[in-house]
Amino acid sequence: MNSHLEALQPYPFERLRDLYAGVTPPAQLKPISWSIGEPKHPTPPLITEAIQANLHGLAIYPATQGPAFLREAIAQWLSHRYHLDNINPGTQILPVLGSREALFAFTQTVVDPVKQQRVLCPNPFYQIYEGAALMAGAQPTFINADPANQLGPDWRTVPDAVWRETALVIVCSPGNPTGNVMRLEEWAFLFEQSDRHGFVIASDECYSEIYPMDAAAPLGGLEAAQRLGRTDYRNLIMFSSLSKRSNAPGLRSGFVAGDAAWIKRFLLYRTYHGCAMSLTIAAASAAAWQDEQHVLENRRLYQEKFDAVLPILQPVLDVQRPPASFYLWPITPYSDAAFAKALYAEENLTVLPGSFLARPTAQGNPGANRLRLALVAPLAECVEAAERLAHFTLRHLEGD
């Protein structure tokens, strides 16, 4: 057995099942889940129609690099969304089977298992970051969310000694679960450190299209690089997906883009890894990347839910609207795990304790006494969930 498997920790939802073990919620209340970030809005018909029209693709072995028509559709989207003027679909874009698969595989491509290397990532974090680092034989190193930095990690706190051992930095912007968006000056600092120490930056941007209707689109890594004159995108790879943007998590479709040298190495890895996208899925993906109307409607639906639930929650909880993503990250009046367990027992509402999404560090666990609330349910369910959470919180505060 691969000994690295023993280092993997239980996934947050395994821990949540253990937390709820033996608890029977009130049967008269309909169960509502705010714990899993799985989009519930309808998948756009243009995706399902494209699948039906391209079923003949199932009879063809797909190429690992993906079809030219998909890479060109992605290049056009990148050029429009991030104002890029030089992205090359032949050498700087690679379709992948969702960002989760790609993040794991790319880490194996970058980390040298012979050396003692680090993979840096935010804390709290998407657990694939940690698992990918451990399976590659690297040491995951967590940079805590900083309330003074819009709940994003402050990369300036990383010592030079750690930078020197770093092979890969994984950033998540917009962040999961905090919704923070990296600023241009933060990108500039990371690029400077990458040039000094030679590490690669993997930019997880799967929440990039979920932000307030009246706000500017979140800055992306490739866009930041171009603004700063790094038009070769050296040592930078962006990860994106249709799961959240297009409400198609089951499609398992995304892409990576950036430094042509790393795209070439990643393509070599994937040739052996065996993750080629079916031409049927590729056709549906191209249709999705070429349409923005369904993305606007998706964004409107999330804004409607934020607008509805925040006035209910803010009088009783310390919770703010995030710059992007579909999560809320409120502070709990006592232990997040105990709060979540009691909430399930009394209100049949499932939420994810923030401490389950983070690791303890010398500065503490940055997810402690917080909850991740995923506003993925329909509007009416979100309103009911907010009312249950508000009533529960008031009862417990009054009990104290």
Cβ atoms of residues 71 and 89 within 8 Å: yes
pLDDT in tens, 42-100: 999 999 999 999 999 999 999 999 999 999 999 999 999 999 989 999 999 999 999 99
Q: According to the model, what pLDDT value does residue 400 have?
A: 53
What are the φ and ψ backbone dihedral angles of 33, each rounded to 5 degrees?
-110, 120
d(CA 241, CA 207): 8
* Tokens coding 264: 């070439």
* Tokens coding 220: 């992306």
Q: Which helix (H) or strand (E) holds 197?
A: helix 184-197
What percent of the chain clears pLDDT 70, i.e. is strictly above it? 100
Cβ atoms of residues 349 and 385 within 8 Å: yes
| CATH dotted code for 46-291 | 3.40.640.10
Mean pLDDT value across residues 311-325: 97
Cβ atoms of residues 25 and 31 within 8 Å: yes
Q: Is the pLDDT of residue 240 over 60?
A: yes
Where do the domains of the chain lie? Answer: 3-42+294-399, 46-291
* Fold exhibited by the domain 3-42+294-399: Aspartate Aminotransferase, domain 1 (3.90.1150)
d(CA 261, CA 65): 14
- The whole-model pTM stands at 0.96
3-class secondary structure, 236? strand
d(CA 178, CA 180): 6
